[in-house]
Amino acid sequence: MQIFYTDVLCIGAGLAGERVAVEAAMAGFSTICLSIVPPRRSHSSAAQGGMQAALGNAIMGDGDSPDVHFQDTVKGSDWGCDQEVARIFADTAPIVMREVAHWGVPWNRVEAGVHTYYKGGKPFEAEEKREKHGLIHARAFGGTAKWRTCYTADGTGRSVLNTLDSKCLQYGVTIHDRTQAEALIHDGEKCMGCIARCLRTGELRAYFATATLVATGGYGRCYSATTNAVICDGGGQICALDTGVVPMGNMEAVQFHPTGTVPTDILVTEGCRGDGGTLLDVNEYRFMPDYEPEKAELASRDVVSRRMTEHMRKGLGVKSPYGDHLWLDIRHLGVHHITHKLREVYDICMNFLGVNPIEQLIPVRPTQHYSMGGIRTNRDGAAYGLKGLYSAGEAACWDMHGFNRLGGNSLAETVVAGRYVGKQIVKYLRGNLVSFSMNAMNDARLKLEERIEDIVTGRKGKESALKLRDEMHSVMMDYVGIFRNGQDLQKAVDKLAELHERADGIALQTSPRGFNPEMSTALRIKGMIKLSQCTAYGALMRTESRGAHTREDYPERNDKDWLKRTLAYWQEGEHLPTLVYEDASPFYEIPPGERGYGGGRIIPNELPKERFEIPQEATENLKKAKSKGEEY
């Protein structure tokens, strides 16, 4: 078996992984990125909308500041986020946007003068200031007080990813694409790298690393209707969960995007609504203002998705062979706007739906989109439980999103967390030497080899991996969707436990020679079932409604009992995760309160006064985060 040694190992080479890699490589450390696909194909590339950062250049973002951004984020999270982290994020986001601009991202810029924009289908005029001409522009997104989302047309993910990947090339980051991490190498205290499978040859390889980062994105593929790419199967989370000592945070917090298209589930950006698109029902009636008079289509995603589902349940959805859906209307934005600023949307509609959005309505429905939960890390991105293990981006529960993330905040998180966590990793590397243990590596390897042998020989059963996957999909879709209740969730938990047991007996139906795609699924499916179990079980136990987690049987947000984060551990040999809870935030810069949209009752919590004070240490750390980074 080939063994690689490196200072930093990034599992995943999307925006978060590459941003960390660039930070480490610029500091002079050897860095290897593992990726299932070539880095530029990472799912980050599909992010269309933009990145939120309070630059306040656009006239509609006038007066914006990190404080307002922070408030929006905390409200959006329904007070489920870690406020120290959200603060670091909001305060450093503008720096990171400027930094990637310095590296080559062609952000759209402010053009002085009057321009027309649409809100709720009606045209308005705004005049950009002359003194802001040429600075980074912003567009409107849901759940925000100001126009704050920096963008490059509707290919923001693509352009930032291209730029970061080019920096990886420049600074000599080694990329091992078509490589899939299968298990972490650890001794119960330290993480020392991972065992990975080469997707060209099917061979196993070992990677020893002083610091290991998991940045593999979300686990949307546990659902069948998801906007996520086919590689978003939670591979990194599975590796971490399998160690038994690293917990997943808030796995029940799953976001459904209001505008997944029907039937292909491809996302059309929130920018459509931000730029003035409206949602219509079967009678082509604009219904959102009835539910949300103030924000209408631009309330936060959890609220819009819920209202859409509610409206369809009233029988006002459009019937189709693929199930009910609603309409997204962007026709009034005009040919130029649609074919320029919303060009990907135009292409998607034309190529995948056969719909021309300039003249026709786009069929949409809420679709699984984002995992707020993931590997629980501390403020510095270090995973709970194992030293030397880090996580960033969607894979992590750094937890600036709490129970609902705002559009444009996740894409920004990838690079903002990437920069911040990257600096922490550099600091860790400068202060730590690790002795790599061959025994630990061998343990991980033997376990994996045995598992592969089980699958190849079929000695433990004859289950089909694809069939198990389909069953898992239907459980998640039917019982762990937008609206949840105790009965359904219990069914999901039971059914998933059964699938978990059956997953041990997976056997290959085809020849194992060389790389075999069936083997990839076979190796993954058990872990995906485990992640689904964490989601379903966490959702069952959380007897309140918060953000995207909506319990019909517990409709109120219960701050008294549930101002907490779920941590799911998986002890070896168990059939269910072990859940423990921690405080949602170390301190509350903004005390829990009303979001201002979404409605719903709140059961308040009497927090002691000292919980509202910001510790000195946190303030100092924030100051360092905003500096050039020499202090670290």
Partner 1 sequence: MNRKLHIKIFRYNPLDPDSTPHMQSFHINEYDSMTLFIALNQIRDEMDPSLKFDFCCRAGICGSCGMVINGRPGLACHTQTRDLPAEITLHPLPVFKLLGDLSVDTGTWFRDAGTKIEAWVHGNDAAFDPAAEEVRMENALAEEIFELDRCIECGCCIAACGTARMREDFLGAASIVRIARFAMDPRDLRSDDDYYDVIGNDQGVFGCMGLLGCQDVCPKHIPLQDQLGIMRRMLVLNSVKGILPRAVINSLKHKGCCHEKH
Of 516, 590, 600, 622, the one binding partner 1 by CB under 8 A = 516
Is 595 near partner 1 (CB under 8 A)? no
Q: What is the 3-state secondary structure (H, E, C) of 446-491?
A: HHHHHHHHHHHHCCCCCECHHHHHHHHHHHHHHHCCCEECHHHHHH
Sequential DSSP letters for 511-526: --SS--HHHHHHHHHH
Backbone angles phi, psi at 141, to 5 degrees: -135, 165
Of 231, 304, 440, 452, the one binding partner 1 by CB under 8 A = 231
Picking from 370, 405, 376, the residue whose alpha carbon sits closest to that of residue 580 is 376
Which residue shows structure tokens 């209408």?
296
Identity of the residue numbered 8: V
Q: Name the minimum Å distance from CB 499 to partner 1.
A: 18
Is 63 near partner 1 (CB under 8 A)? no
Q: Name the minimum Å distance from CB 517 to partner 1.
A: 6
Is 37 near partner 1 (CB under 8 A)? yes
Tell me if residue 257 is catalytic: yes
Of 42, 409, 535, 558, the one binding partner 1 by CB under 8 A = 42
Is 146 near partner 1 (CB under 8 A)? no
Nearer residue to partner 1 within complex by CB, 102 or 314: 102
Round to whole Å and give the CA distance between 383 and 186.
13
Q: Which two tokens stand for residue 182?
A: 């299968």
Of 229, 288, 308, 523, the one binding partner 1 by CB under 8 A = 229
Nearer residue to partner 1 within complex by CB, 151 or 570: 151
Count of residues engaged in binding partner 1, rule: CB under 8 A? 75
Nearer residue to partner 1 within complex by CB, 108 or 490: 108
CB neighbours (10 Å) of residue 54? 24
Point out which span in 173-181, 323-331, 569-577, 611-619 binds partner 1 (CB under 8 A): 173-181
Round to whole Å and give the CA distance between 262 and 277.
17
> What track of x and - describes contact with partner 1 for positions 311 through 330 (by CB under 8 A)?
----------x---------
Nearer residue to partner 1 within complex by CB, 31 or 250: 31
Tell me which of 19, 148, 221, 273 is the catalytic residue.
273
Q: Are 60 and 132 in contact (CB under 8 A)?
A: no
Picking from 37, 6, 41, the residue whose alpha carbon sits closest to that of residue 24 is 6
Is 40 near partner 1 (CB under 8 A)? yes
Exposure string for 450-473, b = 16+ CB within 10 A, e = fewer: ebbebbeeeeeeebbbeebbebbb
Point out which span in 3-11, 196-204, 210-218, 251-259 binds partner 1 (CB under 8 A): 196-204
Q: Name the minimum Å distance from CB 312 to partner 1.
A: 21
Round to whole Å and give the CA distance between 449 and 195.
11
Q: Name the minimum Å distance from CB 510 to partner 1.
A: 4
Q: Name the minimum Å distance from CB 514 to partner 1.
A: 3
Round to whole Å and give the CA distance between 382 and 541.
27
Residues in region 234-293 near partner 1 by CB under 8 A:
263-264, 266-267
Rg (CA), the chain: 23
- Going from the C-alpha of 616 to that of each of 86, 560, 587, 613, 632, the distances in angstroms are 17, 27, 12, 9, 18
Point out which span in 33-41, 243-251, 477-485, 587-595 binds partner 1 (CB under 8 A): 33-41
Tell me if residue 200 is catalytic: no
- What pairs with residue 582 in β-bridges? 565
Q: Are 304 and 288 in contact (CB under 8 A)?
A: yes
Nearer residue to partner 1 within complex by CB, 96 or 253: 96
Q: Name the minimum Å distance from CB 479 to partner 1.
A: 23
Round to whole Å and give the CA distance between 468 and 507.
11
Point out which span in 32-40, 241-249, 446-454, 499-507 binds partner 1 (CB under 8 A): 32-40
Nearer residue to partner 1 within complex by CB, 94 or 249: 94
Nearer residue to partner 1 within complex by CB, 137 or 445: 137
Exposure string for 336-345, b = 16+ CB within 10 A, e = fewer: ebbeebbebb
Residues in region 90-119 near partner 1 by CB under 8 A:
95, 97-99, 101-104, 106-111
Residues in region 352-381 near partner 1 by CB under 8 A:
352-354
Q: Which two tokens stand for residue 305?
A: 């998705």
Nearer residue to partner 1 within complex by CB, 67 or 556: 67
Cβ contacts of residue 62 below 8 Å, gap of 6+?
56, 129, 146
Q: What is the 3-state secondary structure (H, E, C) of 25-48?
A: HHCCCCEEEEECCCHHHCHHHHCC
Of 23, 84, 344, 559, the one binding partner 1 by CB under 8 A = 344
Cβ contacts of residue 527 below 8 Å, gap of 6+?
234, 235, 237, 238, 239, 241, 242
Of 130, 314, 336, 513, the one binding partner 1 by CB under 8 A = 513
Is 178 near partner 1 (CB under 8 A)? yes
Residues in region 124-143 near partner 1 by CB under 8 A:
133-137
Residues in region 458-477 near partner 1 by CB under 8 A:
466
Picking from 479, 37, 416, 96, the residue whose alpha carbon sits closest to that of residue 216 is 37
Of 28, 122, 187, 200, the one binding partner 1 by CB under 8 A = 200
Tell me which of 186, 257, 365, 524 is the catalytic residue.
257
Q: Are 548 and 404 in contact (CB under 8 A)?
A: yes
Instruction: Point out the residues that are catalytic.
Output: 257, 273
